Structure 1
Amino acid sequence: MAQWLVYNVFGMSPENQLAKAIDFFIYDSIKIVLLLFTVVFIMGIINSYFPIDRVKNYLSRNKLYGAEYLMASLFGVVTPFCSCSSVPLFIGFVRGGIPLGVTFAFLVTSPLVNEVAIGLFVGLFGVQTTILYVLSGVFLGTVSGAILQKLKLERFLTPWVKEVLANAQRDQERFEEEKQPFQKRLPVIWAEALKILKGVLPYVIIGIAIGGLMHGYVPEGFFEKYMAKDNLFAVPVATILAVPMYSNASGILPVVQVLVDKGIPLGTAIAFMMGVVGLSLPEAMLLKKVMTIKLIGVFFGVVMLCIIVSGYLFNIIL
């Protein structure tokens, strides 16, 4: 529909940079809004039958020795979302009472590793490199989630999130107390999902608009001179410079192949890819509704550090 509107109705050329930006904006806006509402609605149904406190108590009482972060990362592998598309699921997890570190583990891995990226990686770089990449992506999410959980960052969630959590708890207690059937619970869940969507929507639109402009106007070869093989700091520079860009794994992998063909070390190119798909300004804009600036900064900082370490390790191994 996005392509039909831009190239048929508006009559714009596929080579036009503005057309690419508008196409991207329409497509991602519809996709993320639908995903956000669906996830929040489903989580509302789940929350009405599975109390938030029980989830929290189970995870706090049972020593899983980091398995919860690994499970969240593996779930990220089977969800084919970009960084912005992962945010709705992140909001749903937070609303469901899942610990913040576990939700972060999912948020890190989901855009980095999925079946599409794995298929392309095998075709471009071979099975051995693909296995290393998948393992590093899962490890990155697991470690980042564990570190972020240890920092006890829940106090840096925004008041809006705390209100959503309070409403979810209050609704669940009312459902249990009155033993309401599903038909009577549904209007309350629907109204709460619409309320959450309304609260997040401005951030979604602004974030995707920024992503669309970057998608349409940032030249692909702009950063190549900063990733030279003889530059000792190429990996951290590539990671930092990747943050302003925005794409999914399948979109950036052909660019990674071009960089490698031009002599850029594979680890540096992969660090650049991880920075593009795992961290982005549009994602930060979306997260601004649920996190304070300080929490976003800590999240980006921890993930960037893990990506940089992964990049250097890839360069050493490969």
Structure 2
Amino acid sequence: MNEKFNLALNEFMHVGIALLLIIALVSVLTGLVRAFIPQEKLQKRLAKTGKYSGLMGALLGIPTPFCSASMVPVSMGMIEMGAPFAMVFSFLLSAPLANFVVVGFILGVFGWKIALVYFLIVFIGSVLIGTLVGKTSIKNEVKLININSKKFSSKPTVTNCSSTIIEEEKQNECSNNTKEKHKSSSCSTSTCNEINEKKSKYKEALKFGWSLFKRIFPYVLIGALISAVSTIFVTDTWVQKYLGNDSPFAIPIAAAVGVPLYLRIEMAIPILKALILKGMSMGAAMALIIGGTGASLPEIAIISSMLKPKAIIAFILSVMLMAIVGGYIFYFFF
């Protein structure tokens, strides 16, 4: 019992600290983007994506090597900037599944063919699902994103940057008399304004990041607790017993089992490689990877800080659909 408790405690500490650090970093970065990129210009760009919103969201997910939990601050920023829901939903699906780190791990362990098929499944799935969901009433199932932060003005700020320089000048080489010449000068108004504006933007970026972090923080702790409890009940032995066979029925089970797990891809892939060598099908392995990486319970707990229940259910079902479809593709062709 003590051993299981220690295992759960270690998992809680590891997952909790890791997620808090990542989310803190991403929250600040989101604040910086919001502060230094003109919001009106960005909103117009996002609005112009139109029918390609799902594709844009999925593409944005590729260079982001984080789990979906840490993508919540970015998604909140996108929503506040007026991004279409199709883009946000596709991004949430693509970021943890199609990012270059996950694909790189799969490439290194399973080879380029499996890595390519995996990428196509999760990327195309993210685009299609995000686009379809964006056309339904689920797009309104978003919690109010109301983070207080003043808007930045492009108008110059009047500041008092004048200084007085006192110079002593000799009248001539033969004279011992000196006089003080008061010369009034001022630093460049534009330079002063630029410095003050940058300081203001950094301050507002940190303020915005802190507001995001405070909003997500409780959900991170809930997610870490769920992950800790799951380590007690869903062990490697359990996975091998129920999923470590070549049955096609193992695929939907693997997709469902992946949800309560918090699969760190660097640990999951080597374990699954060993299970495949012991008889587990490639289809079940990939279903487990997609399900566990895309929609684990800890991540769902954190995503609930921005999505309402219907949208969360749609998110879970979307990941499970990709996991099952992808699993059967690998099962029949590999």
TM range (shorter): 0.7 to 0.9
> CA deviation digits over 1:138-188, x for unaligned, max 9?
2222222222222253421113x2x23xx45xx22x535676722234333
How far 1:286 sits from its partner (Å)? 0.5
Indicate how the Cα distance of structure 1 residues 157 and 119 shifts in structure 2: closer, same or farther if over 3 A, else same.
Answer: closer
Q: Does 1:211 align with 2:212?
A: no
CA contact (8 A) 1:244 1:280 kept: yes
TM-score with structure 1 setting the length: 0.80
How far 1:301 sits from its partner (Å)? 1.2
Q: Percent identity?
A: 27
CA contact (8 A) 1:83 1:280 kept: no
Indicate how the Cα distance of structure 1 residues 150 and 178 shifts in structure 2: closer, same or farther if over 3 A, else same.
Answer: farther
| Residue in structure 2 matching 1:244, options 260, 268, 273 | 260
What CA distance in whole angstroms lies between the structure 1 residues aligned with 2:301 and 2:251? 25
Q: 2:35 is matched with which residue? A: 48
What CA distance in whole angstroms lies between the structure 1 residues aligned with 2:139 and 2:38? 19
Extract unaligned runs of 5+ from structure 2. 158-195
Amino acid at match of 1:271: A
Amino acid at match of 1:229: D
Secondary structure of 1:222 counterpart: helix
Secondary structure of 1:184 counterpart: helix
CA contact (8 A) 1:36 1:88 kept: yes
> CA deviation digits over 1:17-49, x for unaligned, max 9?
444433333333333323323333333333234
> CA deviation digits over 1:204-225, x for unaligned, max 9?
1111121133245521131444
Q: 2:47 is matched with which residue? A: 60
Q: 2:65 is matched with which residue? A: 80
User: Hey, which of these two has a bigger chunk of helix by percent?
Assistant: 1
Cα RMSD (Å): 2.8
Indicate how the Cα distance of structure 1 residues 178 and 236 shifts in structure 2: closer, same or farther if over 3 A, else same.
Answer: farther
TM-score with structure 2 setting the length: 0.76
Amino acid at match of 1:197: F
Q: 2:275 is matched with which residue? A: 259
202-211 vs 125-134, greater mean Cα deviation: 125-134
What CA distance in whole angstroms lies between the structure 1 residues aligned with 2:138 and 2:39? 19
Secondary structure of 1:305 counterpart: helix
CA contact (8 A) 1:204 1:286 kept: yes
What CA distance in whole angstroms lies between the structure 1 residues aligned with 2:113 and 2:5? 39
Instruction: Map 1:93-104 to 2 at 5 A.
Output: 93-104=78-89
What CA distance in whole angstroms lies between the structure 2 residues aligned with 1:20 and 1:78? 33
| Residue in structure 2 matching 1:111, options 89, 96, 102 | 96
Secondary structure of 1:150 counterpart: coil
How far 1:302 sits from its partner (Å)? 2.0
What CA distance in whole angstroms lies between the structure 2 residues aligned with 1:18 and 1:79? 34
Indicate how the Cα distance of structure 1 residues 316 and 290 shifts in structure 2: closer, same or farther if over 3 A, else same.
Answer: same
CA contact (8 A) 1:275 1:307 kept: yes
What CA distance in whole angstroms lies between the structure 2 residues aligned with 1:317 and 1:98? 38
Q: 1:302 is matched with which residue? A: 318
Indicate how the Cα distance of structure 1 residues 125 and 48 shifts in structure 2: closer, same or farther if over 3 A, else same.
Answer: closer
Q: 1:3 is matched with which residue? A: none
CA contact (8 A) 1:120 1:250 kept: yes
CA contact (8 A) 1:87 1:283 kept: no
Q: Does 1:36 align with 2:52?
A: no
CA contact (8 A) 2:138 2:310 kept: no
How far 1:271 sits from its partner (Å)? 0.7
| Residue in structure 2 matching 1:221, options 237, 243, 263 | 237
Amino acid at match of 1:175: S
